[in-house]
Amino acid sequence: MSFFFFWVIFAVTIVKPVRNSLFLSEFGISKLPYMYIATAVFTGILVLFDVKLSSFLNRKTFVSVTMGFLLLNLVIFGWLVKLPYRWVPAVFYIWIYFFNYMLVAHFWTFANEFFNLREGKLLFGFILTIGTLGGIAGGRPFCY
């Protein structure tokens, strides 16, 4: 579980600067307030869909499906950002907020299903520490 959380926080730490640089290089800082509003609206809609889907599927299937969906989307966006479409950085900017929410929220959903209360009290501090190391490792390549 610690290894999983390490990679969750590692991924979140890497995609944020990529999201910011792609958007700001294409649109500049003057469009950023509009992106905050669009992000709030679209993330709210996507979270509503996420909640509806979670009530439809069992927890293990739900976490597996959503993690696969996120991975597939990263691959698709990796391909799209190389194309000269102006809308891609804006959509990627919005999607990364949802991506970050999904990764972290679904990790803790999975952890709560996996551990009982006693085990959680003993292990969640350690898991958070390993996640912090994932954030440090994910931020490291951007320090050069």
Q: What are the two backbone dihedrals, phi and then psi, of residue 15, each rounded to the nearest 5 degrees?
A: -75, -25
Q: What is the structure's pLDDT at 141?
A: 64
User: Contact, 102 vs 70, CB < 8 A?
Assistant: yes
Name all contacts of 77-82 with Cβ < 8 Å and 24+ positions apart. 81/22
Record the pTM.
0.81
Pick out the chain residues at pLDDT < 50: none
| CA count, 13 A, side-chain hemisphere, 82 | 5
Amino acid in the structure at residue 32: L
Q: 106 to each of 63, 98, 142, how far by Cα in Å?
A: 6, 12, 26
- The C-alpha atoms of residue 17 and residue 9 are separated, in whole angstroms, by 13
Q: What is the structure's pLDDT at 102?
A: 85
- The C-alpha atoms of residue 60 and residue 109 are separated, in whole angstroms, by 10
Q: What is the structure's pLDDT at 31?
A: 93
